Amino acid sequence: MKRGLAIVLVLCGIWGCSKDRPKSLFDPDYVSQEKPTIHSVTPSGEALAAVVPITIEGAHFLNDTAKVSVWFNTVKAKILQASSDRIVVQSPNLVADSVAIKIAVREADRLSDPYSYRLLQSVFVVGGFNKYDDPYALTCDRHGTVYVSNAPSRLEKVTPEGERTQFGSSIGSGIRMTSVKNMKVGPGDYLYLVSNTNYIARISVDGGDITKWATLSASVYDLDFLPSGSLYTGGRNAPLILVKNDASSSNVADYKGYNIQAIRVFDGYVYIAAEITADRTVHIWRHRINADESVGERELVFNWTENFGTASLLGLTFAADGTMYIGTDLMESIMVLHSDGNFEPLYPGVLLPETYSLCWGPDEFLYIARRNDSKNSSQELQTVLKINMVKLGAPYYGRQ
């Protein structure tokens, strides 16, 4: 008896002994907020996974993003904006034909009814390139076949069906192009190649021997075609050179003291990305193309160095709507440059560096050659990717 009394006294000392009962967790005055309701989702029916914003219209949401959760099956989406009737989320990294979207708000005791949706793959690996490959230049023809310069000298192609073959070499009689820097499909279904040499070589897209097509006044690094079948080319401390269909050439703009890194013809202009050798700054310029294919004065489009410091500008192309896409060695390896000078990364967190070469196919897919990140060579990231852009690219005149 004494022992039992002692135990009771000890417990009372620890927790206290009181006749008061704990208060109930039930609040008889609590009223739940209305269950959230989804009316519509944009894009309608489906969206690209991981890369686009999705807008959900409905009712009984909250303005505070911390008090709202949006689920795609079991994956929680990042909320970008929220109001009482509209939520914008980043599409989650989930690829599925059947996705149930549900919304939870903190003041409501019920989830929304599920809304059926579909999330599509946005980026695809093409051709099975791996750590034993080194893709440099890349281009496409009008049928959707992708051509890749695989260093040091293999020329390979990947058909729309995914079949990859070697069709030629960048080394031939009197020609030694190792690690071809840039190439384009041009007239006659030839592949035209440059690689810091004072000539342009070409090879049939069906294979055969590579031949020297045009001898130039300077070594050149990139090229692009005009609607007539002529092309512009340029390189390190070299002029902008016009090359006609008969391989004759003339200098059309002075770029002494510049290193031309990328050339693209778009909407009546030729765009030039180049480094000024005196101060190592990189800019994008353009020249209006005259009727005789001479060019007008140089116009500054964008100061790359001012915005991105020492990051490399490796290539550029355009969408049909005039938006410029720039390959870089930044962690977000493709930058999107709008006509008003604003910019942002393409598909943040998805595209690792470095994007060396870019080419739009005949459809809504952008193809890129991703070389191994020069800042972290142990990653072995080299591959060729196909990116769903949900819009068409600007014309490549050589492949028409």
Assess contact for 145 and 380: CB atoms under 8 A: no
Alpha-carbon span 268 to 381, nearest angstrom: 36
Residue 303 identity (one-letter amino acid): N
- Tell me the β-bridge partners of 124: 386
pTM equals: 0.87
Assess contact for 124 and 386: CB atoms under 8 A: yes
Residue length of the chain:
400
**pLDDT tens sequence for the chain (400 residues):** 444 444 444 444 444 455 555 565 556 666 678 999 999 999 999 999 999 999 999 999 999 999 999 999 999 999 999 999 999 999 999 999 999 999 999 989 899 999 999 999 999 999 999 888 999 999 999 999 999 999 899 999 999 999 999 999 999 988 989 889 999 999 999 999 999 999 999 999 999 999 999 999 999 999 999 999 999 999 999 999 999 999 999 999 999 999 999 999 999 999 999 999 999 999 999 999 999 999 999 999 999 999 999 999 999 999 999 999 999 999 999 999 999 999 999 999 899 999 999 999 999 999 999 987 655 555 678 899 999 999 999 999 999 7
Q: How far is CA 96 from CA 100, 184, 208, 215, 312, in A?
A: 10, 36, 44, 53, 36
Question: To the nearest 10°, the Cα dihedral for 18, 22, 28, 34?
Answer: 160
Alpha-carbon span 242 to 249, nearest angstrom: 5
Alpha-carbon span 292 to 249, nearest angstrom: 13
**Cis, bond preceding 345 (omega within 30 deg of 0):** no
Give a three-class secondary structure readout of 52-87: CEEEEEEECCCCCHHHEEEEECCEECEEEEECCCEE
- Tokens representing 21 are 């009962």
- Tokens representing 80 are 């970008």
The contacts of residue 79 (CB under 8 Å, 6+ apart) are: 65, 68, 69, 70, 87, 88, 89
Alpha-carbon span 55 to 57, nearest angstrom: 7
Assess contact for 182 and 223: CB atoms under 8 A: yes
Assess contact for 221 and 182: CB atoms under 8 A: yes
DSSP notation for 175-238? EE-SS--EEEEEGGGEEEEESSEEEEEEEETT----EEEEEEEEEE-EEEE-TTS-EEEE-BT-
How is residue 390 annotated by DSSP? Answer: S
DSSP notation for 306-363? HHHTTPPEEEEEEBTTS-EEEEESSSS-EEEE-TTS-EEESSTTT--S-EEEEEE-SS
Assess contact for 209 and 203: CB atoms under 8 A: yes
Domains of the chain, start order: 37-120 (2.60.40.10), 123-399 (2.120.10.30)
Alpha-carbon span 347 to 357, nearest angstrom: 17
